[in-house]
Amino acid sequence: MKRWKVGQLARSTGLSVRTLHHYDGIGLLSPSHRTESGHRLYAEDDVARLQQIVSLRSLGLPLEEIRTMLDRREVSLAQVLTLHAARLREQIQMQQRLVARLDAVATRLRSDETVSAEELIQTMEEMKMFEKYYTPEQLAELEARRETVGEERIQQVQAEWPVLMAEVQAEMDRGTDPSDPRVRELARRWQGLVSEFTGGNAEIARSLKSMYDQEDEVHGMRMAHMRPMMEYVGKAMAAAQREG
């Protein structure tokens, strides 16, 4: 039965020795055999566990959660590989949607329609930003929701946001307490528009918040201007929950 030293396994899998040592140090994957001279060796069962770790990491799971799952034998190697394959298929579908979008722009250009450089840059920036913060499953759900809601409602929501933000900013400028009924109503409308985007999916909402927290600009909105409003609206929502 074959055995691998840490360096051999690292070279064979493309992982670094440092990564394997880290997995060993946190109790996620430790070599199960030793040579007579004391060198630690990975066995075939260790390699199978490593495959599960690599696949589950590709799905975005943290190492601590992976260790818990594997130690409790909650998933088999076959199940993990099936999940990994499903994720890859979703990524392929995302790329296919990207191809379709690019083809659509190319068609417009061939028809002598004007597509500005700014429009192209914004499209690319938004696509990369979404891929950075949303999982493939979330992107697929957002795409499906967009089709369900329809372009007309999407345009309406895009028109509603600037009006709502102006009203929120006006109350902030007046020094209105967030618990005031006027502000709480604005917060209710704000939350409603966000829910239309997320479909009530808490994970998508967290990804959206992460994007707002870390990016300087989202959809043309300067986040330095948006964040104080978001905090103000959050206080109004909290006040409504306390009283309601």
- Domain ranges for the chain, please list them: 6-71, 117-243
Residue owning tokens 């509603």? 160
- The predicted-structure confidence for 62-85, as pLDDT tens digits, reads as follows 788 888 888 888 778 888 888 778
- Lowest mean pLDDT of 94-103, 180-189, 232-241, name the range: 94-103
Its pTM stands at 0.47
Does pLDDT of 10 surpass 80? yes
- The predicted-structure confidence for 120-162, as pLDDT tens digits, reads as follows 665 666 566 667 777 777 777 777 777 777 778 877 877 788 8
Q: What angle do CA 201, 182, 211 make, to 5 degrees?
A: 35
Give the burial class of 110: count Cβ atoms within 10 A of its Cβ; 0-12 exposed, 13-18 middle, 19 or more buried: exposed
20-34, 80-94, 124-138 — which one is most confidently predicted on average? 20-34
Does pLDDT of 21 surpass 80? yes
CATH code reported for the domain at 6-71: 1.10.1660.10
Please give the pLDDT value at position 23: 93
- The predicted-structure confidence for 184-233, as pLDDT tens digits, reads as follows 999 999 999 888 888 888 888 888 888 787 777 776 567 788 889 999 99
Average pLDDT (25-50) is 90
Q: Where on the phi/psi map is residue 76: left (φ > 0), alpha (ψ -120 to 50), or beta?
A: beta
Collapsing DSSP states into helix, strand and coil, what is residue 237?
helix
Average pLDDT (81-110) is 72
Let me know: does 41 contact 34? Beta carbons within 8 Å. yes
Instruction: Give the Cα separation of 236 and 72 in Å (integer).
Output: 43
